[in-house]
Structure 1
Amino acid sequence: MSDAAITPSQIEALFTRSDDSFVFARWGRPIVPVVFGVDDKTLEVVKGAVEAVVFLAGHKMAETDPELGANLMVFFFRDWSELADVPKLDQLIPGFGPLVERLTQTGADQYRAFRFDADGTIKAAFVFVRMNSPLADMSAETLALGQMAQVILLWSDTAFQNRSPLARVGERVILHPEIADVIRAAYDPILPGANSDPSHALRLFARIAQIAG
């Protein structure tokens, strides 16, 4: 754990949404990624980032999801209007058409949507990255790692508004140590895969301390 250890209140804030509700969820099934809109070189970078974050979490990947085929879909594109040509997205994400209109109007450069199993754990996630934006100036490695960090858990919608999940060490970009600690603790099998009680932050804090010790 980093020298400036994360506190229970900081952990709670990471999962407290803008409506003040506390919602924690991790993936409950192996992750099966598929990436659209990139060349083979970038594809390998993105999949490498998925593998690195999944390994950190102690979670699993698979070749296919028996229900969905792929359950982590990552889209890179230059304009939100391009998504209108992607078949069945409106079936996978209810209200997708109006959502794209809002994202276009606000000039959004990224968006993540999740689906959940009956027990509240993450069933599928959809990551949208508009490259006709400042994100295009990032290296593929930095962009991919940042996106995967934000999709390995159901963070608050405000968790990374004022801070990045990444940190720079010399020439390298890594997961911020405090965020890495939370991810590792969140996937401890002793903890539930989903929880709406803010006291869960205390359990995460205790697991971080135990892992660090």
Structure 2
Amino acid sequence: MTKDEIEPLFTRADGSYLCARWGRPLAPVVFGVEDATLATFKGALEAVCQMAGHEIAETDPELGANLMVFFFRDWQELLGVPNLDRLIEGLAPLVDRLEAAEANQYRVFRFDEAGAIRASFVFLKMDDQLSAVPAETLALSQVVQTMLLWSDTAFRDRSALGQLGDGRVVLRPEIAALIRAAYDPVMPAVAQDPSHALRLAARLAAAPPPA
């Protein structure tokens, strides 16, 4: 990928550039799914973290769990989750906005003092559209969109996932390489200057081809 292809993925609708990665190991917890779906989600998370060279932990010493994923049928269900309003400021107005927009997914990020991701909350309303998506595809899509702070317009025109000839859905190779480059220890955990996209492109160009 070139700088001109990478930059829009981290350029928000207001024109600002922002790319951030996790600054700590991920400690996930998933609510509202059966064990099989839970295993699928954790499998996708492990695969993407291994690819990125990032760690997964049983618990976060500060938060306990720092990646919380909620599956539900109605946005109003969130208002009944104990203490969620303490974690998500303005939860009730947010629920009203998401209902009005007929949204079926939403992600909230929290950042540490350096600007790296310290926590993320993923909300998935399982309407007819999301319910029709295979669990493996949904899990991989959500993990990819949580690994980095992408632009609010990223993947609007083209998914981060692709389909192989045998029907399997996988992460597009160029997006996988981009995530690996963003997690390279020599790269900053957070960047707000578009020149960061040029550095990512340089790392992609220098990376060896996948085996």
Superposition map of 1:61-210 within 5 A: 61-170=56-165, 171-210=167-206
1:57 and 1:87 mapped to 2: Cα distance?
33
Among residues 22, 27, 43, which one is paired with 2:38 in the alignment? 43
Residue deviations 1:89-145, cap 9 Å, x none? 221121121111100011001000000000000000000111123011011000000
2:128 and 2:152 mapped to 1: Cα distance?
20
Runs of 4+ in 1 over 6 A off after TM superposition: none
For structure 1, the 5+ residue unaligned runs are: 1-5
Residue deviations 1:139-163, cap 9 Å, x none? 1000000000000000000001111
1:52 matched to 2:47: yes
CA contact (8 A) 2:79 2:91 kept: no
Residue deviations 1:31-72, cap 9 Å, x none? 000000000111000111111111111100111100000000
CA contact (8 A) 2:27 2:66 kept: yes
The count of aligned residue pairs is 208
Q: Which SS does the other structure have where 1:212 is aligned? A: coil
1:136 and 1:86 mapped to 2: Cα distance?
22
Q: CA deviation at 1:212?
A: 3.2
Q: Which SS does the other structure have where 2:69 is aligned? A: strand
1:178 and 1:99 mapped to 2: Cα distance?
34
Q: State percent identity of aligned pairs.
A: 62
| 2:169 maps to amino acid | V
Q: Which has the higher mean CA deviation after the structures are superposed, 90-99 or 119-128?
A: 90-99
CA contact (8 A) 1:109 1:133 kept: no
For structure 2, the 5+ residue unaligned runs are: none
1:158 and 1:93 mapped to 2: Cα distance?
22
2:20 and 2:57 mapped to 1: Cα distance?
20
2:191 and 2:153 mapped to 1: Cα distance?
18
1:8 matched to 2:3: yes
Among residues 10, 19, 26, which one is paired with 1:24 in the alignment? 19
2:84 and 2:7 mapped to 1: Cα distance?
32
TM-score using structure 1 length: 0.96
TM-score using structure 2 length: 0.96
Q: Which has the higher mean CA deviation after the structures are superposed, 88-97 or 77-86?
A: 88-97
